[in-house]
């Protein structure tokens, strides 16, 4: 298992690059694997890992493998406290999912990933996991990813279309049986914040229904001083 990408140059970049190797699918990784996944020499990786463990961003498990550590909770809780977006979006999300009877979630772009900042607590389909903090590569699609790309300056005809339309509908793009509609969310001053999505079983959701959701969302987020266009 060799690395898919070349490792970055700087030491701090390399440390964070190591952290980026962890995911919900790869929660625990031994040195060997971290070295090969990251493309770093194992001695180099080992030195960086020591530092990350010292600071609590990773922990070294009894079996010698590494996994994310408690310091991440610390920063996450500060992040949550500063992000007024999260606090403001939670109430609208609850009302939207109530009204449409489907899963509602909010995503932001971070680098080449999309991260879930909030989701409703009501509709948990075991076939379709969305966790707060969960992230997937933008290239792995989904409505949220397409929308985030379109509204964060990505060029291309497909993205032009999305921007013109003001929403993006996907059917089975990321998860075979599901359909989603994603909408851009803007601060009152016009700043782009992220993507709000409504997802449910494809068989329950013809395109017309998904398009109809847009108006519901527009109405609900307005109460929090947010809008779907600049």
The yes or no reply on residue 30 touching DNA (CB under 7 A) is yes
Please tell me whether residue 20 binds a second copy under the rule CB under 8 A.
Answer: yes
Rounded Cα distance between 61 and 72, Å, is 16
The least distance separating a second copy from the CB of residue 216, rounded to whole angstroms, comes to 26
Quick one: tokens of 44? 């180099």
Contact between 3 and a second copy by CB under 8 A: the answer reads no
Q: How far is the CB of 14 from DNA (least distance, A)?
A: 5
Residue 189 CB, shortest distance to DNA, in Å, is 14
- List 195's β-bridge partners, or say none: 107, 184
Q: Would you call 103 exposed, middle or buried from its count of C-beta atoms within 10 A (0-12, 13-18, 19+)?
A: buried
Residue 16 lies near DNA (rule: CB under 7 A): no
46 near DNA (CB under 7 A): yes
Q: Per rule CB under 7 A, is residue 3 in the interface with DNA?
A: no
Binding of a second copy by 153 (CB under 8 A): no
Interface pick for a second copy out of 46, 81, 91, 201 (rule CB under 8 A): 81
Report in angstroms how near the CB of residue 46 gets to DNA at its nearest. Answer: 5
| Long-range CB pairs of 47-55, under 8 A, 24+ apart, other chains included | 48/11, 48/14, 48/15, 48/18, 49/18, 51/15, 52/15, 52/18, 52/19
User: Which of 12/155 has CB closer to a second copy?
Assistant: 12
Torsion-angle region of 48 (φ positive above 0: left; ψ -120 to 50: alpha; else: beta): alpha
CB-based burial, 153-165: b 16+ in 10 Å, e otherwise? ebeeeebeebeee
Q: Which is nearer to a second copy, 132 or 202 (CB)?
A: 132
Under rule CB under 7 A, residue 164 binds DNA: no
Is 43 a binding residue for DNA by CB under 7 A? The answer is yes
């Amino acid at each position: 298992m060799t690395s898919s990408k070349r490792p970055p140059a700087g030491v701090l970049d390399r440390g964070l690059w190591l952290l980026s190797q962890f995911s919900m699918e790869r929660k625990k990784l031994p040195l060997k694997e971290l070295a090969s996944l990251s493309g770093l020499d194992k001695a180099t990786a080992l030195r960086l890992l020591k530092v990350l463990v010292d600071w609590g961003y990773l922990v070294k498990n009894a079996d010698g493998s590494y996994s994310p550590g408690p310091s991440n909770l610390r920063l996450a809780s500060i992040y949550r406290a500063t992000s007024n977006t999260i606090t403001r979006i939670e109430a609208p999300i609850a009302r939207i999912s109530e009204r449409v009877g489907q899963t509602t979630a909010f995503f932001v772009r971070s680098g080449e990933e999309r991260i879930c900042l909030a989701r409703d607590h009501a509709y948990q389909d075991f076939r379709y996991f969305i966790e707060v903090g969960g992230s997937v590569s933008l290239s792995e699609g989904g409505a949220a990813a397409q929308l985030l790309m379109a509204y964060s300056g990505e060029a291309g005809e497909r993205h032009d279309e999305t921007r013109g339309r003001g929403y993006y509908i996907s059917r089975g793009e990321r998860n075979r049986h599901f359909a989603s509609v994603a909408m851009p969310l803007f601060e009152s001053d016009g700043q782009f914040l992220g993507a709000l999505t409504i997802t449910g079983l494809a068989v329950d959701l013809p395109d017309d229904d998904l398009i109809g959701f847009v108006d519901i969302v527009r109405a609900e987020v307005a109460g929090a001083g947010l809008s779907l266009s600049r």
